[in-house]
Structure 1
C-alpha cells in the first residue's frame, strides 16, 4: 500500500496521497477520498506493468448507446461503494430499484416520476422515513455517478430528475441510561457486550467497528479511513476501550452483523423493551453524544468526533436533557442571588451591562 493521509503543516487535510516509485520513475498525486487514491494506485501499477503512459489523461469509456439499468449496474458494481462497509446495503437498495423500475429501462429515460414511484413503493413496505430516504440517496448517487462517467447523457436537473425525500420529524433520540447499559451487557454474549461498551465509548457506527483492523489502531487512537461520508477521522479511546477493541480483533471474536442484531433483539425483549422500536444498536452512538453534552463538551468538538459534515446533524444529538434544564435554572437562580446581594450591599441598583460599541448588537438565539 502506497497511500498515505495527506498533511499540511503537520495537520491532516482529509485528503490522501499516492506515492509510487519504480526505478527512477516516481509518481505522486493527491485525491479527495481513499477510494479515489486506491483506484489511482491500481491504475498506475497496471500501466507500469503493461508499459502504458501513467501521465496520460484518464478517459472514461464511451457510453454504450441506450444503456439499460441492467448494464449500468454491472458496470458500476466493481467501482461504486468499493470497500465501503455499507456497500452490501447500498447495492441491495440499487437492486430493489432495478427490479421495481425494470432492468431494461434506459438510464436516459429515468425521470422524477420513477424516483417518486420507487420511494412510495419502499414506504408501502413499512420502511421508516429515514430508511426510505436512504434508498433514494443511494439511487441518487448511482445516477450521478453514471452521469459523471458519461453513461447518462440527459443532465440531472430539477426539471429532468428530482430526488424527493421525506421530511423527517425530529422524533425521539433514544440513548441508554447507565442502568440500561449494564443490563443489556449482562444479557448478551461477552463479545457482544464488549462491542456495546466500545460503541458507547467511541460513538462509532456499527460498521466502522465490526470492520476495524489492527492497523487502524495507533496507541489509543482509532483511525477511520473509510466512513459513511468518505471523510477521514480519528477517534480517541481510553486504554480500557482500546484493549477491548484490540481483543475483539486479535481473537477474531468480533460479532457479525447477524449475531449482533439477534443478540440485541433478544436482550431487548428480556428487558421488556420489545415495543421500544428506537432502542437499537445505533442508540449507542446517541448515548456517546448525549454523555458528552452532559459533560459540557462543546458541540463543535462533538461534530468532529462523530464525523458529521453539517452542524445541524450534531445538534439533533446534542439535545438538552431534563437534568440540564434543572441545572440551568439553578445557575440562573445563583446569578440572581449574587446580583441581589451585590445591590443590597452597595445600596443602589446595579445598572445593566453596556451594549457593545460600534453599533454592533449581540445576537442571541431564543427558543420559543
Structure 2
C-alpha cells in the first residue's frame, strides 16, 4: 500500500519474492505502480537504456534526415547515463545530475536541450510499451538557449587544417573539409550528394529530399569547392563520392584528431562550424542577407540575421552611408 514518506509517496511491492520500495511524486503514481506489479509488470535490469535505444531507434528516428546527428546525441548521453542503466532507474535525480554534469562540461543550453529531447522521446516510448511505469520530470531540465555564440574558423586555422590533413595523408578528409567550408552545406548534404546534381566547376544542387529544411537550392561552386569535388571524384566511381570514401563517423574521428593537434578546447569546434564560417564570410563581404539566406537554404531571415552579430563593424557601414547622404 502506498505511503507518504516525507514529500514523496512510496510504493511497496514484491518482485519475485523480493520486497522493493520505489518513491514517486504523487500517490496516484505510486498506486499505479503497485497495481502494475500486481498485474505482472516486472522492473528488470534487462530493460536497459542501451538495449531499448537499439530496439526503438529505427521506429523513432529511422527516417529522420538528422539520423547521424541523433546517433551522435546518444553517444553523448551514454557518457552521463551509461547504456547498462536500467530504464526504471532513470529518475528525476539522475536527469538533474546529467544536466548539471553537462553544464559543468561546458555544454550550451541548446546542446543540452537536444539531448534531453531525445531522451524524453525514448522514455515516452518505453512507457507506452510498458517498459517503464513513470517518466522523470523534465521541466527543470529545459535550459535557456538565448543567442549562443557561433564559432567560426579563421584563415590561419583553415591553412593549418589543410596542412594537417596533407601531413597525415588524408586527402578525402581535406577535400570534404574544403567542400563544406566553401559551399556552406551541411555534412549530410555533402555525404549524400550525387554526381548528377553537380555541374563541374559551376554549381551544385542540394535537393529538398536530402535537405534539413526540405528546400532545394543551387549553390555556385567557387574554385576551392570545385577543386575539392573534382579531386574526390577522381578517387571513386561511386555516385556519392564523399559518402563512399568518408563516412560520417570516420570524418568525426579525423576531426577529433585535428582538434587535438590544433589544441582547441571549444565545444563548438565541430564540422558544422564550417557552415557558420561560410555564412559569416559572406556577410562580412557585404553579401545582402536575402542572398545569404538563399545560399544556406534558411527558412527565415531571422536565422540568417544571427550572423550579423559576428560582424562588429556592420553598423559602421550604415552610419557612413547615412552621413554621406546628409
TM-score range (shorter-chain normalised) is 0.5 to 0.7
Counterpart CA distance in 2 for 1:166 and 1:146 is: 24
Paired position in structure 1 for 2:10: none
Give the structure with the larger helix fraction.
2
Counterpart CA distance in 1 for 2:134 and 2:216 is: 34
Paired position in structure 2 for 1:175: 152
Q: Is the 8 A contact 2:102 2:112 kept in 1?
A: yes
Paired position in structure 2 for 1:292: 282
Q: Is the 8 A contact 1:222 1:234 kept in 2?
A: yes
Paired position in structure 1 for 2:107: 128
Counterpart CA distance in 2 for 1:103 and 1:153 is: 10
Q: CA deviation at 1:197?
A: 2.1
Change (3 A) 1:151 1:251: farther
TM-score in terms of structure 1 length: 0.55
Paired position in structure 2 for 1:81: 61
Paired position in structure 1 for 2:207: 223
Counterpart CA distance in 1 for 2:180 and 2:294 is: 16
Aligned length: 259
Q: Is the 8 A contact 1:204 1:306 kept in 2?
A: yes
Q: Is the 8 A contact 2:207 2:216 kept in 1?
A: yes
TM-score in terms of structure 2 length: 0.61
Paired position in structure 2 for 1:332: 322
Matched, 1:258 2:231: no
Q: CA RMSD for the aligned pairs?
A: 4.1
Q: Which has the larger radius of gyration?
A: 1
Which secondary structure does the structure 1 equivalent of 2:206 belong to? strand
Match of 2:121 among 137, 141, 161: 141
Q: Structure 1 unaligned runs (5+)?
A: 1-63, 337-368
Change (3 A) 1:87 1:172: closer
Q: Is the 8 A contact 1:94 1:138 kept in 2?
A: no
Which secondary structure does the structure 1 equivalent of 2:103 belong to? helix
The CA deviation string for residues 321-363 of structure 1, in whole angstroms up to 9 with x for no partner, is: 2342332222121111xxxxxxxxxxxxxxxxxxxxxxxxxxx
Q: Is the 8 A contact 2:308 2:314 kept in 1?
A: no
Q: Is the 8 A contact 2:88 2:133 kept in 1?
A: no
The CA deviation string for residues 224-249 of structure 1, in whole angstroms up to 9 with x for no partner, is: 6345x574544523164245235325
Q: Is the 8 A contact 2:213 2:297 kept in 1?
A: no
Which secondary structure does the structure 1 equivalent of 2:142 belong to? coil
Q: CA deviation at 1:152?
A: 7.9
Matched, 1:198 2:179: yes
Change (3 A) 1:278 1:152: closer
